[in-house]
Amino acid sequence: MKYFMNQLILTDEMVLVKDWYDKFSTRYIHPPKLRGISKKGRFLFEHFYVITDNNPLGRYTIAAVKTLETKGLIQSTGFASVGTACEKYDSFDYTNVEEIALSDLGKHTFPEKSAFLFCVDCNASQNKAAWFTALDDFVKATAGLKRRMATVGVLMPAFPAAPGELDGLSEREFSYYMECVLKDKTPEQSFCLELEQKCRSLVVGGFSEINFVRIENLYGPDSNRIRQFDLDAFVRNAFESGVVEVTKEDHETTVALSYIRGAFNMIVRVLYVGR
């Protein structure tokens, strides 16, 4: 199966990625001269590695990171696939992108100032053991680096709505809800929970350079994962009928959505501000 993104859309997306990272990295290195903000110890990562299964965020992230390299904002790009090999966009140039076999991840030599972006689809729970091995191999391979950082970006599976009359749950409240309140977990929910616990165990064990980001309802080019709303059908019907109709029902529904470029920006931003 080939995943196709219209070349014009892909080009526009990558221009916006480049512009965002250029502005963000400049502001990070040269923060406003306000009390409490220091430049001391700040640096930019020069080498980016994407570890992903075959999911939309992983495909997008490889192309986005390669764009940063092409524009001279980073030095190199690499990736490794977990489970099914990650598909590539037909209209994108992947020249000089280093592909690392998952079995070689623990033996690979990574340079200083390396950033690692793990893009995990919890709906592919059959890859759980491979992901845990990949995290252990990553820790082992980067043990000698002084400047390294990782973000684990997780595409969340479906979870029941917040219990009772709650409008939402905080990060730790949701963790408690997953661990202690939700009794009959699906394999996908269990994978998500165990992955969080795995990352926490790495931090407790002394590997503090890892961040965890939950990503809900990913949508955008090459992705339509909004469970509560069929965006493709909505857009198609709007063009065909000339009428924009969201629903005929009289009620209010609050849904958290993640645009794919925003999700990429977030997992990269966390590399820096999450340290």
pLDDT in tens, 85-119: 999 888 899 999 999 999 999 999 999 999 999 99
Q: pTM of the predicted model, to two decimals?
A: 0.88
* Model pLDDT for residues 47-88, shown as the tens digit of each residue: 999 999 999 999 999 999 999 999 999 999 999 999 989 998
Domain contains 235: no
- pLDDT for 18 beyond 70: yes
Of 29, 45, 80, whose CA–CA distance to 150 is shortest? Answer: 45
In a domain, 54, yes or no: yes
pLDDT at 165: 67
> Does residue 215 sit within a domain?
yes
- Domain-embedded: residue 239: no
Q: Tell me whether residue 126 is in a domain.
A: yes
* Amino acid letter for position 215: I
Nearest-Å Rg of the Cα atoms of the chain is 20
With a cut of 50, say whether residue 1 has pLDDT above it: no
pLDDT of residue 252: 61
pLDDT value at residue 2 = 41
Q: Is the pLDDT of residue 272 over 80?
A: yes
pLDDT-derived band at 197 (thresholds 50, 70, 90) equals: very high
Residue 123 lies in a domain: yes
Short-list 171, 145, 134, 136, CA closest to 45: 145
Mean pLDDT of 107-132: 96
- pLDDT at position 219: 87
- Give me the sign of the Cα torsion angle 183, 187, 188, 190: positive
User: Residue 179 is part of which domain span?
Assistant: 7-229+257-273
Residue 47 domain-assigned? yes
Per the CB < 8 A criterion, the answer to whether 55 and 124 are in contact is: yes
Domain CATH number, residue 194: 3.40.50
Instruction: Dig out the tokens for 42 from the structure.
Output: 């700040």
- The number of folded domains in the chain is 1
Nearest CA to 271 out of 15, 23, 47, 34 is that of 47
Asked, for residue 179, whether it belongs to a domain, the answer is yes
